[in-house]
Amino acid sequence: MTKTLLITYFGPFPGVSVNPSGVTARQVADVLADESAVQVVTREIPVSYAGSSEALREMLTDIRPDAVLSLGVAVGRDKVSFEKVAINLDSADIEDNDGVVRVDEAIAPEGREAYFSTLPVRASYERLRGVGLPVEISYTAGTYVCNHVFYEAHRILERQGRRIPAGFVHIPATQVDHEPSDAQTTFTAHTDAGGVESESVPTLPEAVVARIVAELVRDTLKVM
């Protein structure tokens, strides 16, 4: 039986004029297009605390996916990060795209303190690292909209009484295949958004990032 995978991604936000998570989502869908075991549905989520919650609720209700993978960019990281935990906190110095700044606010005042990814994070990390791919397990998804979406996906699914694989992956800034990194979009790292501030911004080729995410999807299908 074919499973439906929902991949969400973000558009631009302060410091990121072109968000590479959208390209990655579409490339992963293309990589997996010929595989009968999965149908990939990609959707953009607004870079908005309130708007992302509403969008997620509608998507999870209307699409009823069998698994959910959310993608975001963490400028300054040099590996694809499989996020392990989402915390119940919004707190960032930068605005969301609605102009809202949240500092030390609970996402859900009566909600759990945290949710853990239900994707096969450890198994995929070990396998992909073993073949030399640039991956890592991360224990912080930041406290901006990426973490918010990670947390809310689990909270909404829990309220719907659904137990399906769900998690978040942060990708680094990417470069178009076969083009030098200095020809790419300029990025600004924000630690609140999971980024790493430094003098230079590491990049990975788009095809490498898409391959890693597609392999995580394949590992997820094995445990469903």
CA angle 156, 5, 137 (to 5 degrees): 75
* Number of neighbours of residue 220 by Cβ within 10 angstroms: 25
This prediction has a pTM of: 0.94
Q: What is the distance between the alpha carbons of residues 15 and 9, in angstroms, rounded to a whole number? A: 16
Q: In the annotation, is 146 catalytic?
A: yes
Q: What is the distance between the alpha carbons of residues 175 and 141, in angstroms, rounded to a whole number? A: 22
CATH assignment of the domain containing 145:
3.40.630.20
Residue type, 145: V
Q: What is the distance between the alpha carbons of residues 193 and 214, in angstroms, rounded to a whole number? A: 23
- List, in sequence order, every residue forming a beta bridge with 82; answer none if it has no partner: 137, 169
Choice among 146, 153, 212, 216 that is catalytic: 146
Confidence of residue 65 (pLDDT cuts 50, 70, 90): very high
Nearest to 13 by CA among 117, 146, 160: 146
Q: What is the distance between the alpha carbons of residues 153 and 158, in angstroms, rounded to a whole number? A: 9
Q: Of 120-129, 144-153, 188-197, 199-208, where does mean pLDDT reach its minimum?
A: 188-197
Render pLDDT for 5-43 as a digit per residue (tens, 0 to 9). Answer: 999 999 999 989 999 999 999 999 999 999 989 999 999
Do residues 47 and 18 lie in contact, with contact meaning Cβ atoms separated by under 8 Å? no
Phi/psi at 3 (5° precision) = -95, 150
> What is the tally of structural domains in the chain?
1
Q: What is the distance between the alpha carbons of residues 75 and 78, in angstroms, rounded to a whole number? A: 8
Render pLDDT for 109-168 as a digit per residue (tens, 0 to 9). Answer: 999 999 999 999 999 999 999 999 999 999 999 999 999 999 999 999 999 999 999 999
Specify the pLDDT at position 170: 98
Boundaries of domain holding 218: 3-222
